[in-house]
Homo-oligomer: A and B are copies of this chain.
Amino acid sequence: MSQTNMKIFEELESEVRSYCRSFPTVFTKAKGYKMWDEDGKEYLDFFAGAGALNYGHNDPHMKAKLVDYILNDGITHSLDMATAPKAEFLKTFNDVILKPRNLDYKVMFPGPTGTNTVESALKLARKVTGRTDIISFTNGFHGMTIGALSVTGNAFKRKGAGIPLQNTVTMPYDSFVSESLDTLEYLERFLEDGGSGVEIPAAMILETVQGEGGINAARFEWLQRVEQICKRWGILLIVDDVQAGIGRTGTFFSFEKVGIKPDIVCMSKSIGGMGLPLAITLIRPDLDIWAPGEHNGTFRGNNHAFITATASLSYWEDDKFEKDIQERSKRIYSFLERIVADYPELEGEAKGRGYMVGIASQVDGLASKVAAEAFERGLIMETSGPNDEVFKLFPPLTIDDEGLNKGFEIIEDSVKAVLGARELVTS
């Protein structure tokens, strides 16, 4: 039966489809960290919608609120008109998230996607500064529309633009060249030398941990120096927290413990709580010089997502959730380090921060094989990095110990199986 239904996609859907190729089955149900396909097979979800399902699938509290709202004929679609759920979200977000962190950002609702919040941030930075260039970083990923793609590093994705991508300069991310080489010394020379060919940009945009780019976690000192450089030159600092935010690295914002205050923050993915499309752009109040409607979009007011987003914020009313993540993420990292140590044939390196971790293998194609093997064994896991060299552990933040343990087991078995098969071939 699955076979039949997979054919529908082959026949009717565009060749651009991708994840349905890595995970070739038709999914029907999901709950927490589990998914089921139409044959009833159960999967552990260590992918979590690439960070869109930090609270797991179909959280009962959010679900109840949403169903209730729908049954009462609450407004579904409203562009950016004022609605009760939007007011509620704004108020709760301010009370639960911003105020306790001493933040006073204005909230903008661009179209409900990550690429859209990035586009809005770039536009605003250019408007505020009157400059055209943006500095982005190697292996950064910010989206697939032309503005966001221009600050994305991946060559395959950039080539897809079909036009030269302009008005951006890529600088080396932390440890891009080697552990010892100071990439910010390099960057700053370009800014301070009037003959460098690099203009003072409107903004720098970065992820504190690069998800798509290969689970690269920038050191706190590096991020702090980036902020200092931005301040020194009057450059806006945009943190794209679409994937690293909402608890993924241990705190609501990925930069909280770094001690920096970005001028603009891009959020999407898990901000909607239950996987519904939503994005917000947080703006330092004095930079909020938008003219009304200067950036807009039909679905910028997704009321269903406001309902679930507001409900999701209850996770952050005290520090329990955060502590849980931080506690458990140590276990995850230990597991990865053990795997790297126990299986030297992996030529692996544990990478990342919080629940945004993985193992980079220097063996060509190995990470993909491990992920494929894991899928066979009932675990969904993605690869990332410029050569798909990293297999990525991205479970929901709400996963329990049982789920984690079971996941670890499958991953280790998959590693063993792949290495075993390899040995057979090479010996």
Contact = CB atoms under 8 A, between A and B. Distances in A.
Interface of A: 5-6, 8-9, 12-21, 23-31, 35, 38, 49-53, 57-58, 63, 66-67, 70-84, 86-87, 90-91, 93-94, 106-109, 111-116, 119-120, 122-123, 125-127, 132-133, 136-140, 143-148, 150-158, 160-164, 166-170, 172, 176-178, 181, 185-186, 189-190, 193-199, 202, 213-214, 242, 268-269, 274-277, 281, 283, 288-299, 302, 304, 385-387
A75 B145 contact: no
Contacts of A166: 163-164, 166-167
Contact of A292 (B15, B91, B151, B193): B15
9 contacts: A14-B108, A19-B79, A20-B80, A67-B71, A114-B297, A116-B116, A116-B144, A133-B164, A156-B194
A76 B269 contact: no
Contact of A172 (B138, B186, B276): B186
B12 A90 contact: yes
B6 A82 contact: yes
Given A12-B107, A193-B386, A19 B75 contact: no
A143 B19 CA distance: 27
B127 A162 contact: yes
Contacts of A51: 298
Contacts of A150: 146
Nearest to A28: B84
Given A14-B288, A90-B9, A189 B163 contact: no
A190 B275 CA distance: 35
A116 B119 contact: no
B19 A81 contact: yes
B5 A87 contact: yes
A388 to B, nearest CB: 10
